[in-house]
A and B are shown apart, each in its own frame.
Chain A
Amino acid sequence: MANMVELKNIHKSFGDNHILKGVDMSIKKGEVVVILGPSGSGKTTLLRTINFLDAADEGSVSVHDFTVDCKKHSKSQVIELRRKTAMVFQNYNLFQNKTILENVMEGLVTVKKFKKSDAEKVSREILAKVGLAERCDFYPSQLSGGQQQRAGIARALILDPDVILFDEPTSALDPELVGEVLNTIKAVAQTGITMIVVTHEIAFAKEVASRVVFMEGGVVVEEGKPEEILVAPKEPRTQQFLRRITNPNAAEEATA
């Protein structure tokens, strides 16, 4: 097996709007890839083309040696690809009509055909790991954003996916809740699972990323080790972006 995830020449348009303009990406097993980039640069869309929540118009997606051609794909291929991936959403998207425990069990029971009792056992274990042992029987609407997102991470992890896709997992959270979720993600990263994380948390990226990818305007502008991209980026666009998000006041003054 060469790569855990391989994207080749991904193009995606919404109407006349060409959003992704030929993205290539190869990710090895166990890599933690952090994607940075300004709002609207196509980061979310790129993640969504990997699990076909949005099908790309061109190119191919491979996960764990299973390749799907974006132009001509069958329903069963898409399902199989999705079963190799899991996603953590910006707005958590927990199943509102299910308890936290049921949220985590759902994929095991419905998709992986686990016996209910087995599914419940492992789900409780994983919820304990993310610090939600006491919250198993609560509904998502009864939890804080941070708790919901940790449940979302548990729901993704339990499926033992080949890759987990995180789309700005902390950007909908109140500032005081960001830390607990980032710590949970760090712990997940240490287990050696392959991850792609879209985030604006630079300190977090420095700590956990094995590679940082900077995107703008639907293309990868620059990528490399976190110390290269985050500390000494070569591209002016990357430099400008980092200046803006590490020092928002300066950016405001500059544009004022």
Chain B
Amino acid sequence: MINFKFILESIPSLIGAIPITLLMAFSAAIIGWILGLGIALIRKNKVPVVSQICAVFVSFMRGVPIIILLYIAYYALPIAIYNYGVSIGREIDTSTVPAVIYAIIALVLDQAAYSSEIFRSALSAVDEGQMEACYSVGMTKSQALMRIILPQAMAIALPNLGGLFLGLVKGTSLAYYVGVYEITATANLLAMPALNFIEAYIMTTLIYEILSFIFNKCFRQVENRFKRFRATATA
């Protein structure tokens, strides 16, 4: 039977774990997407060498399971930092760095790679005539990008970014494996003593569903704001 007492008692702890999930999702999205946009612009403008490095990075990232990325960040990064410290003659203590930082680093890299592809196709979807019109009135390239090209590319990218973000929120559950007490880890921990796994997973599912629902709504709102110029009605 379902243990409703357990469910009720677990609610506060599970809700208490939401902030750490959101912290990972938002920091990974904000930093990762800025990097992704940078990568997209570099590749679109075919900046020599950097552009090729970005291409390799993206293709590598897309091939790696995110859990492996998390393990690499969690186990390999501290060693790398320690060795770097030794090489410059300092002993850097990495043990005080919370696990969530490594999880965020892994998620940032993942988001950078995937969002760069979204931004790249969105930038290509903006009509080339738009850039030419900017030049024809005397704008510089950066003025054109900031004022005309990026706002249009954003409107095109938003639905896909929304999907990417929902995937990211769920993806943060993998941080459990490197010891971050986010929603899934907390549910497991609560379930353990009396083996209330079914109840714990029902609750976990419910929380992710609610989060997805809310974020989906938010993205729709933002999309509509960005898309208002794409009205089809003719005057």
Which residues of chain A come closer than 8 Å to B232, judged between CB atoms?
141
CA distance A156 to B132 in the complex (A): 13
Measured between C-beta atoms, what is the minimum distance from B144 to chain A in Å? Answer: 9
Question: Contact mask B138-156 → A, CB, 8 Å, 1/0?
Answer: 1110010001100110010
Residue pairs across A and B with Cβ atoms less than 8 A apart, 16 shown, are A79-B138, A89-B129, A96-B152, A96-B230, A97-B148, A106-B137, A107-B138, A110-B147, A111-B138, A111-B139, A138-B235, A139-B231, A140-B229, A143-B234, A144-B235, A155-B137
Binds B, one of A80-88, A123-131, A202-210: A80-88
Contact of A135 among B130, B229, B235 (CB under 8 A): B235
Q: Would A85 and B136 be within 8 Å (CB), given that A110-B143, A110-B147 are in contact?
A: yes
B133 and A142 contacting across the interface, CB-CB below 8 Å: no
Q: Which 10 A-B pairs have the closest CB atoms?
A: A107-B137, A83-B138, A93-B129, A93-B133, A87-B136, A111-B138, A139-B229, A97-B151, A82-B138, A97-B229
A98 within 8 A of B: yes
A147 within 8 A of B: yes
Q: Would A95 and B133 be within 8 Å (CB), given that A111-B139, A141-B229, A147-B235 are in contact?
A: yes
Interface of B is mostly: helix
A141 and B231 contacting across the interface, CB-CB below 8 Å: yes
Q: Would A91 and B129 be within 8 Å (CB), given that A86-B137, A144-B235, A147-B235 are in contact?
A: yes
A53 within 8 A of B: yes
A93 and B230 contacting across the interface, CB-CB below 8 Å: no
Which of A51, A52, A82 has most B Cβ within 10 Å? A82
Q: Would A82 and B135 be within 8 Å (CB), given that A97-B155, A110-B143 are in contact?
A: yes
Contact of B132 among A93, A143, A155 (CB under 8 A): A93
Which of A79, A85, A95, A98 has most B Cβ within 10 Å? A95
Interface bracket on A? 20 to 34
Measured between C-beta atoms, what is the minimum distance from B200 to chain A in Å? Answer: 47
Measured between C-beta atoms, what is the minimum distance from A151 to chain B in Å? Answer: 11
A63 within 8 A of B: no
A97 and B137 contacting across the interface, CB-CB below 8 Å: no
A97 and B152 contacting across the interface, CB-CB below 8 Å: yes
B228 and A51 contacting across the interface, CB-CB below 8 Å: no
Contact of B233 among A96, A135, A142 (CB under 8 A): A142
Measured between C-beta atoms, what is the minimum distance from A130 to chain B in Å? Answer: 15
CA distance A34 to B130 in the complex (A): 25
B140 and A79 contacting across the interface, CB-CB below 8 Å: yes
Which of A139, A140, A144 has most B Cβ within 10 Å? A139
Q: Would A139 and B228 be within 8 Å (CB), given that A86-B137, A110-B147 are in contact?
A: yes
A53 and B132 contacting across the interface, CB-CB below 8 Å: yes
Which residues of chain A come closer than 8 Å to B233, judged between CB atoms?
142
A159 within 8 A of B: yes
Q: Would A82 and B136 be within 8 Å (CB), given that A96-B130, A98-B229, A110-B143 are in contact?
A: yes
Complex: chain B residue closest to A82, CB-CB: B138
Measured between C-beta atoms, what is the minimum distance from B78 to chain A in Å? Answer: 45
Measured between C-beta atoms, what is the minimum distance from A186 to chain B in Å? Answer: 22
Which residues of chain A come closer than 8 Å to B143, judged between CB atoms?
110-111
Which residues of chain B come closer than 8 Å to A144, judged between CB atoms?
234-235
A94 within 8 A of B: yes
Which residues of chain A come closer than 8 Å to B133, judged between CB atoms?
87, 89, 93-95
B234 and A142 contacting across the interface, CB-CB below 8 Å: yes
Which residues of chain A come closer than 8 Å to B230, judged between CB atoms?
96, 139, 141
Contact of B235 among A86, A107, A143 (CB under 8 A): A143
Which residues of chain B come closer than 8 Å to A139, judged between CB atoms?
228-231
- Chain A residues 84 to 124 lying within 8 A of chain B, measured CB to CB, are 85-87, 89, 91, 93-99, 106-107, 110-111
CA distance A140 to B235 in the complex (A): 10
Which residues of chain A come closer than 8 Å to B152, judged between CB atoms?
96-97
